[in-house]
Chain A
């Protein structure tokens, strides 16, 4: 049954929940932030994540992974989202590995996927070019030069962009229009002409702006054997959208539970504030939204797993819904905590910051509502 976890999945969830709660609590993120850590993640923690098999969770066993599929990845990311665990899991193990699996050549899979699974290779997928995700307007160009290519353009909001050894850059073949001629290139981060600038975001997580100035690439640097179809790229983006929605769900659940606890202990006017109907009704409304968010994320993961033809709808639904639900729950979380909700000492502030960044990853609610309409031919 799609909405009820199997025994194996339940074990995975419990294991991930325990690991993140004990080994990667929010204190871990605070430490990285306060120390202005150059990497923005803790390599020792990453090593533990690798040992648990999470880094290769999407990757088939033939390529050194654990082959737990999208549901497995979603389960792990949901638990990571509960504690705001910073790690290369999303950029490398989900988006990066997803691109290689979907459009890479066989020898690229053979070479790179085992390195993702063993934690030795960090990836970043460079797609966005402006303040809003819009994969149909790629301006970054790859000009053919004999057998080689020259890459020019700029990318922004590249998750883990400054720590990845290899970048996967989505570019447009020079002269191609609209949905045609998209190409994905594997670019070593230290290639001449590549300039990477870390951008410090409000959530203290990793992102970068990257420019490509006449970067010389060989045909072999291309992921796959030629232009990638729009569908194949969207397929990976949809995977990313649903997985990030699962991470968002973890944060939403955590804020909701924490806020509910607070409503049950905080006293004012000689009463527990959770006894006030004005707050009870808002808490009950949040409960409904959280329940619906859980259903939407589970359905998205199942859609990928079963290779259903409504994956795009399910992905846009999940990403838009979780963006809205996270906004509601984090706003209410701060408000219901009152003054202390505004302090850095209390975690709810960390979640509200993370939620807004997550909402922008691979398209916000507005983008996905419009996409959902387009998919329905209106």
Chain B
């Protein structure tokens, strides 16, 4: 038996023993393992599964062992992923630290910082949030104003962040701060801040969907040790851009998943609401709209597949992430508008009697989907990126 096959057998046996049965079922949102000091585990198996996977380094199987990763090469990781998929295992850890900050630390942080922060991310002990946008710096992110003044042994931070996901539940925040006011992009630094520090306050923002996944985060005379600076002073924009790429591919990926779940029965729903004739949706315009939408999805799926194959072969368009972010989020918004057309008033319930839980979920998801084309760079920003970086169109004002 070759080494990979041995690894497969061992992994299979270990998973059989250590992956709790309830962790092999679809994951409800409230059981997502975000980790952190204040983590709640409505299902205790979630904690068990996280701890066991983290102990093996398998919350980040390919990351170096010295930082708490699994140290697996691609081939072994492929086997592990196949074995996890085989038993429909839930992810052991869902975490912005894992998806966004961690990769940036691996690339830009000092050895000391890596040793300090990455293991706590991978064990799920510390939950991170992202402090990028500000009230006056949304699409124009580099216009951010939160100041970090050099006070000798520490930075004094003052400002306000907004759209910080789950800041009220997080332990630390990675922030873009202004360390030079005389220049724009080259005056930004990347700073790690413990949210338990005096002067940090997070207030949840209530969205049109009724949920509050985002916060406003106020930073008032917050003292941050100098060693919390990642990378060089005033070079934070480079790190920020890299992180945004991770975020964009994460968002377009999430949409595909969420979409597939709610989409399955669009044509069935249409038959329920409009009736059917000879097996066809009776209302012609709805039938056409459903088919049209499913074709858009089919085509978009093919272009994602093509892009993946091209990337493997070393070809393909550079700003693919922007294209998929733009098209995927717009497609997701169209899907929910179409579901509203199909379901009529049954997709407009807010709560209580008269609606089943799936119908209520459509209402909330429709409202939530409006944010897809805003967060992580608006659709308009994605189109700018494509126009400039892929198509080579000039900036305004150039003759």
Contact = CB atoms under 8 A, between A and B. Distances in A.
Interface string B366-399: 0000000000000010111011101111111111
Interface of B is mostly: helix
A200 B192 CA distance: 71
A291 B323 contact: yes
A319 B302 CA distance: 15
A321 interface: yes
Given A283-B387, A321-B299, A3 B305 contact: yes
Nearest to A320: B295
A274 interface: yes
A30 B259 CA distance: 48
B383 A369 contact: no
A264 B392 contact: yes
Given A271-B397, A274-B393, A292-B303, A285 B312 contact: no
Given A291-B303, A373-B280, A267 B399 contact: yes
A303 B313 CA distance: 21
Contacts of B12: none
B267 A284 contact: no
Nearest to B314: A4
Interface in A359-378: 366, 369-370, 372-374, 376-378
A264 B398 CA distance: 11
Given A275-B394, A372-B291, A376-B294, A292 B315 contact: no
Interface string B299-327: 11011011001101101010000010011
Contacts of B271: 378
B279 interface: yes
Contacts of B290: 373, 378
Contact of A292 (B294, B327, B397): B327
A274 B323 contact: no
A287 B294 contact: no
A277 B306 contact: no
B288 interface: yes
Interface in B157-216: none
Given A267-B399, A291-B317, A317-B299, A376 B393 contact: no
Interface string A167-197: 0000000000000000000000000000000
Interface string B275-307: 010011100000110111011001110110110
A353 interface: no
B299 A373 contact: no
A271 B305 CA distance: 39
A299 interface: yes
A287 B399 contact: no
Contacts of B80: none
Interface residues of B, number: 48
A76 interface: no
B383 A284 contact: yes
Contacts of B327: 288, 292
A217 B331 CA distance: 54
Give the contact-size bracket for chain A: 35 or more
A86 interface: no
A288 to B, nearest CB: 5
B98 interface: no
A378 B269 CA distance: 11
A270 B380 contact: no
Interface in A275-296: 275-277, 279-281, 283-285, 287-288, 291-292, 294-296
A42 to B, nearest CB: 35
A275 B299 CA distance: 30
B276 to A, nearest CB: 8
Nearest to A299: B302
A272 interface: yes
A273 to B, nearest CB: 10
B306 A295 contact: yes
Contacts of B288: 366, 369-370, 373
Given A275-B396, A378-B270, 8 more contacts: A3-B306, A4-B310, A264-B392, A280-B383, A281-B384, A284-B391, A370-B287, A373-B291
14 contacts: A4-B309, A271-B396, A274-B393, A280-B387, A288-B326, A291-B303, A291-B317, A298-B306, A369-B291, A370-B288, A376-B291, A378-B267, A378-B270, A378-B281
Interface of B: 267-268, 270-271, 276, 279-281, 287-288, 290-292, 294-295, 298-300, 302-303, 305-306, 309-310, 312-313, 315, 317, 323, 326-327, 380, 382-384, 386-388, 390-399
